[in-house]
Amino acid sequence: MGFFDRFRKVKASTIGDPVVLRESLIAAAVVGNRKQLTALSRANREAIATQFPGWRQLPEAIRDDPSRAQRYIHGLIAIAEVFSQDLGDPSLMQLLTGPEQENPLARWQQGLEDARTSVEELDYRTAITTLNDLLIEVRSLRGSGVDRYLPITYGQLGDCYFHSGAVEKAISPFQHALELCERTGDAEGVLAYLGNLHEVHRYLGRTNEAADCADRLADALKKMARLDAADSYRQRAARVRVGEPLNRVVVEVAGRRYEVAEVPPLVEGKAQFFHERNRLSLRPATVLADRGSALATSGDHEPALDLFRDAARADRFDPQPRYLEGLTLLLLERHHQAVESYEAAEELAPGWFHCRSNLWLARQLALGELEHEAFLALFNLVDGPGTPKEKHKLARRAVAQWSGLAPLYLELGQVAGALGYPQEAEAAYREGLTHAEEPDVRTRLLVQLGVLTRSEAEKDHLLREAEALEGNLVSAAMATLFRKRKPNVRSGR
């Protein structure tokens, strides 16, 4: 992973039978699979437009079943929304609502869209005002359209409060949305808003309330026969109740996530490693940090720094803005400030990516124990341009010039291994370990050498030391898995 940190279109086939087409669309709408619903609508656009006027009549078989009728109506509204919002065709929505200027549901839908636009622009204040005004305007309305849009409006309002940082205020609208979905039998809505409430309480550090929501989610998922997801939330409830660590690493294999100690020893396939915090990141912090990263990558460090600081203010618990701020300050040769940034990131999320080794570098630079040119050489090896052969030459020159800098040997070993020079890679890792006192880099060197060595006794010794050291959380997790088996592993975020 470099210092600075696709959607694929879902394909769908045409469906000739109008009844099968209608039920396929409604099924996708009911489970909330917007991508599948959009793909089906796109692939069958003409047929849907032709059949939709007739679909407005409730099928006789469900007229006396309120739950199925509600499901059907919600499905039609969702189809019309996809045509209007994704395919640029408002005609189906007009069939359901009548002329826009006369229909309150059409104005309601437009208000929700206006709020979404404000959110995209990070203008949460305007979005909150729009949604509150909508709730006042529609308070006297009744009918199936209200049953569909009212929980969405409350849910969107809760989301705005949450991500704007007014997290406490998100509880009431999410609770209203949940109760409305429970009343109408909207199982997917119940899952969504229970999940929202779980994350709100989790963010606020209210472990009992967060755990209770996770248990309720597990119960709801079990009733829907989603047993793996139910089991995951049951385990999460137990973790939250006793207190989650600020940051830990989890392992994903074949689409399922495990705690490191719980990964099955004989599981096949690739394993990915992810940092998992005890809170979600607020969206403004993520968006601003991403914008800052784009500027930093292009060399615009001062404006990038401003964005990282804005991101840190947007979410005081998120370590990523402080982490990226630290690197930017190193590049600007403000070493003492970089130390403060990395210390803040480490406090927020102990072991966050390479925070520990970067903090060590910042301290060495601030103390004058390391030349800035040595840091730049390391930075270029990790994140700079160049082919593997070019970086191999750069790494060799760097270790010759700064022979006591352990991270350089890690980079030399990795590029040598990539070029098919395993003996040189092994020698680099061994030499690096003689200089590596900092735990993060040492853990990574131990694991890399543990993978290469042919001695099973040495392998076991190296991997056990990496597990115990836990300087780098991903490498420590890799060591645990390598001791169980020899997987094809790669890290990810």
- Output the CA–CA distances (angstroms, integers) from residue 202 to 27, 168, 311, 491, in the order listed: 32, 11, 20, 26
In single-letter form, the type of residue at position 279 comes to: R
- 287 and 219 in a single domain? The answer is no
Looking at the domain assignment, is residue 386 inside a domain?
A: no
Average pLDDT, the chain: 91
Strand 256-259 with 247-253, pairing: antiparallel
Instruction: Single out the residue in 333, 355, 370 at which a domain terminates.
Output: 370
Say yes or no: 63 and 131 in one domain: yes
Shared domain for 218 and 296, answered yes or no, is: no
Q: How far apart are CA 318 and CA 329, in angstroms?
A: 18
- Asked whether residue 73 falls in the same domain as residue 174, the answer is yes
pLDDT for res 7: 32
Q: Report the helix count and the strand count for the chain, using DSSP H and E.
A: 24, 4
pLDDT band at 74 (very low <50, low <70, confident <90, very high): confident
**Structural domains of the chain, count:** 2
Do 26 and 163 fall into the same domain?
Answer: yes
Residue 421 counted as domain residue: no
The overall pTM is greater than 0.85:
no
130 belongs to a structural domain: yes
234, pLDDT greater than 70: yes
Q: Is 451 domain-assigned?
A: no
Q: What is the mean pLDDT of residues 428-445?
A: 98
Mean pLDDT of 57-80: 78
Please report the pLDDT score of residue 32 as a whole number. 79
- Quick one: 284 and 338 in the same domain? yes
Query: Do the domain assignments include residue 380?
Result: no
Terminal Cα distance for the chain, rounded: 9
Which residue among 370, 405, 433 closes a domain? Answer: 370
In a domain, 172, yes or no: yes
Expressed as residue numbers, the domain containing 363 is 275-370
293 & 230 share domain: no
Same domain (yes/no): 214, 283: no
Judged by average pLDDT, the poorest of 242-256, 300-314, 479-493 is: 479-493
Is residue 269 one of the residues assigned to a domain? no
pLDDT tens column, 102-155:
578 888 989 999 999 999 999 999 999 999 999 998 887 777 778 889 999 999
At 5, the pLDDT band (50, 70, 90 cuts) reads very low
**Domain end residue (candidates: 352, 370, 388):** 370
Q: What whole-number distance in Å separates Cα of residue 333 and Cα of residue 403?
A: 22
Angle of CA points 281, 224, 209, to nearest 5°: 40
271: number of CA atoms within 13 Å, CB side? 28
DSSP characters for 260-320? GGGS-TT--SEEEEEEEESSPPPHHHHHHHHHHHHHHHTT-HHHHHHHHHHHHHH-TT-HH
Comparing CA positions, the residue from 248, 288, 350 lying closest to residue 163 is: 288
Q: Is residue 382 part of a domain?
A: no
- Report how far residue 245's alpha carbon sits from residue 104's, in angstroms, rounded to the nearest whole number: 48
Asked if 301 and 251 sit in the same domain, the reply is no
Per-residue model confidence as pLDDT tens digits over 289-309: 999 999 999 999 999 999 999
Please check whether residues 290 and 180 belong to one and the same domain: no
Domain identity same for 250 and 298: no
| Same-domain pairing of 210 and 300 | no
CATH number at residue 190: 1.25.40.10
- R_g of the chain, CA atoms, integer Å: 27
